[in-house]
Amino acid sequence: MAASEVVTPPYPPMLEGRHPEAPLGFDLDKCVHCGLCLNNCPTYRELGLEMDSPRGRIYQMVQVATGQMEPGPSYVEHLDLCLACRGCESACPSGVPYGRMIEAARTEIEWTRKRPWPARVLRRFIFNRLLVSPGLLKAAGAVLYLYEASGLRRIAQGSGMLKLFGKLGRIEHLAPSAEVPFFFDKVGKTFPAVGERRHRVAFLSGCLANVTSARLNEATVRVLQQNGCEVVVTEGQTCCGALHVHSGLKEEARALARRNIDVFLAGGYDAVITNAAGCGSTLKEYHELLEHDEAYREKAARFVALMKDVTEFLAGIGLNTQMASLDVTATYQDSCHLAHGQKIRAAPRQLLAAMPGVTVKELPLADLCCGSAGVYNIVHDDIADSLLRKKIALINGTGADVVTTANVGCAIQLKAGAERYGRGQRVLHVVELLDEAYTRAQRT
């Protein structure tokens, strides 16, 4: 579809009786089809197809909304290929809320199209059971830990037998390590500030992160303590619902949001902290998720006002600079949902610049998606791997020996990429590097 063929507003009238979660005409009308988003779209850069660009996807949403096209397999495929990175939002001069629109379109698809029963069973288990059950997450983590600790993973990767498992074999390298002890045993505990207490904050530790990023969570608590924070890992918290929203399961996400709101608002905290930018983007949009819920609308707004990414919070309170010199060269990969969703770019870079002995090399195209995107690198591993190869090539060009990011999903993806295509770089969350600097200072 050439640019000259794109229909521009006004559109034909929207169909009546559409699903209430469908993309709003008010949002669809904001797109003027200028095309400035195209170069910021990873799938358009990879595939070169208009229908796999933000402009093309919005055009298809309009066609469905006005009854000019059925939401058939082609529509589902093109929308499913979107990483929902929201890079188009940063490029858009018209303020098109593309993230909200793609989530609404996927929700409408989820309600109107029936998936094959194996897919329904798997999705129900992952979204309704695994992500919300500490017990199941611990069990899954134990299996993953034994797979690696027993040497089976090393044997499987070295023997070539993974090729027999098709796609499962192709994506096995993306499986993160299970970090024992899991962080679940810290939930419900309070960690005192080092020195004078300046803030009392809650830490939202996530769901999978309690198993796969336990050391990052511990580092986050320590860094907050070093900056005068009493840290409460609040009892009763649950999954943020980000993966549910991105997958079109908004009702499930709303139930999780209500639980988190009740738990965290009851604590009287100065701030609620997350170290996962993808989670943070959804957490900061709870007020949109619950805008029609009279019982939670005002509560959601209060919760959102407290919600902070850990880099945003640390950069805003006056960072404790009593750190040891690290003598490393680092680069920073923007998390899509921090840069494009939350509009936070400077804070992580300010923290890196404040660390003694850290030379920062700016990464070209730092805010272009690395291909992680929740479960995208599993579902669309071919496109995700192509994006990752290009990202690691740019990282190699900086000469950095440490790659930093601000999202657990990005870190897992970049670690896999550094092992396959890199030069042995360490991949760390920004707060993990801060934690190293504080820990070394305490030992000297």
**CATH code of residue 240:** 1.20.1050
CA 220 remoteness from chain centre:
17
What is the pLDDT, as a whole number, of residue 344? Answer: 96
What is the pLDDT, as a whole number, of residue 70? Answer: 86
**Same domain flag for 16 and 80:** yes
Residue 379 near residue 318, CB atoms below 8 Å = no
**Same domain flag for 258 and 375:** no
**Same domain flag for 105 and 122:** no
Nearest to 177 by CA among 153, 159, 202, 201: 153
Paired sense of beta strands 229-232 and 190-191, if any: antiparallel
Contacts of 376 (CB under 8 A, 6+ apart): 83, 383, 384
Which is more confidently placed, 130 or 161? Answer: 130
What is the pLDDT, as a whole number, of residue 148? Answer: 81
Nearest to 373 by CA among 246, 234, 225: 246
Nearest to 355 by CA among 438, 270, 414: 438
Residue 18 near residue 43, CB atoms below 8 Å = no
**Same domain flag for 215 and 295:** yes
Tokens 């229909």 sit on residue:
7
Res 302 pLDDT > 90: yes
Which is more confidently placed, 350 or 1? Answer: 350
- pLDDT tens-digit series, residues 170-205: 666 667 788 999 999 999 999 999 999 999 999 999
- pLDDT tens-digit series, residues 268-278: 999 999 999 99
| Count of structural domains, the chain | 4
Residue range of the domain that includes 57: 3-112
Where residue 7 falls among pLDDT bands split at 50, 70, 90? very low
**Same domain flag for 104 and 143:** no
Q: Give the torsion through C-alpha atoms of 280, 282, 286, 292, to 10 deg.
A: 170
Q: What integer best gives the mean pLDDT of the chain?
A: 90
Mean pLDDT of 283-306: 96
Nearest to 28 by CA among 68, 64, 2: 64
Res 125 pLDDT > 90: no
**Same domain flag for 244 and 261:** yes
What is the pLDDT, as a whole number, of residue 165? Answer: 64
What is the pLDDT, as a whole number, of residue 171? Answer: 67
Q: Which of 282, 315, 348 is the last residue of a domain?
A: 315
Which is more confidently placed, 243 or 113? Answer: 243
What is the pLDDT, as a whole number, of residue 176? Answer: 77
The DSSP secondary structure of 404-438, one letter per residue, reads EES-HHHHHHHHHHHHHHSSS-EEEEHHHHHHHHH
Mean pLDDT of 253-262: 96
Q: What crossing angle do the helices spanning 54-65 and 73-80 adopt, rounded to 10°?
A: 150
For residue 400, the domain's CATH number is: 3.40.50.10700
What is the pLDDT, as a whole number, of residue 15? Answer: 60
CA angle 337, 343, 344 (to 5 degrees): 90
Q: What crossing angle do the helices spanning 430-443 and 214-226 adopt, rounded to 10°?
A: 60
- pLDDT tens-digit series, residues 203-220: 999 999 999 999 999 999
Task: Enumerate the H helices of 66-160 as residue ranges.
Answer: 73-80, 87-91, 98-112, 117-128, 134-149, 152-159
- pLDDT tens-digit series, residues 105-121: 999 888 887 778 887 88
Where residue 59 falls among pLDDT bands split at 50, 70, 90? very high
- pLDDT tens-digit series, residues 323-340: 999 999 999 999 999 999
- pLDDT tens-digit series, residues 69-94: 888 889 999 999 999 999 999 999 99
Nearest to 326 by CA among 297, 301, 357: 357
**Same domain flag for 236 and 335:** no
Res 6 pLDDT > 50: no
Mean pLDDT of 403-420: 92
Pairwise CA distance, residues 283 & 135, whole Å: 23
**Same domain flag for 311 and 187:** yes
**Same domain flag for 363 and 289:** no
**Same domain flag for 107 and 143:** no
pTM here is 0.90
Least confident of 9-18, 256-265, 325-334: 9-18
Q: Which of 174, 193, 213 is the last residue of a domain?
A: 174
Nearest to 58 by CA among 16, 21, 88, 20: 88
Residue 8 CB neighbours (<10 A): 10
Res 168 pLDDT > 70: no
For residue 71, the domain's CATH number is: 1.10.1060.10
**Same domain flag for 408 and 366:** yes
Q: Which tokens sit at 386?
A: 């192509």
Q: Which of 112, 134, 162 is the last residue of a domain?
A: 112
**Same domain flag for 420 and 437:** yes
Res 10 pLDDT > 60: no
Q: Determine the length of the chain.
A: 444
Where residue 164 falls among pLDDT bands split at 50, 70, 90? low
Mean pLDDT of 394-420: 94
Pairwise CA distance, residues 205 & 201, whole Å: 12
Residue 23 near residue 103, CB atoms below 8 Å = no
Res 236 pLDDT > 90: yes
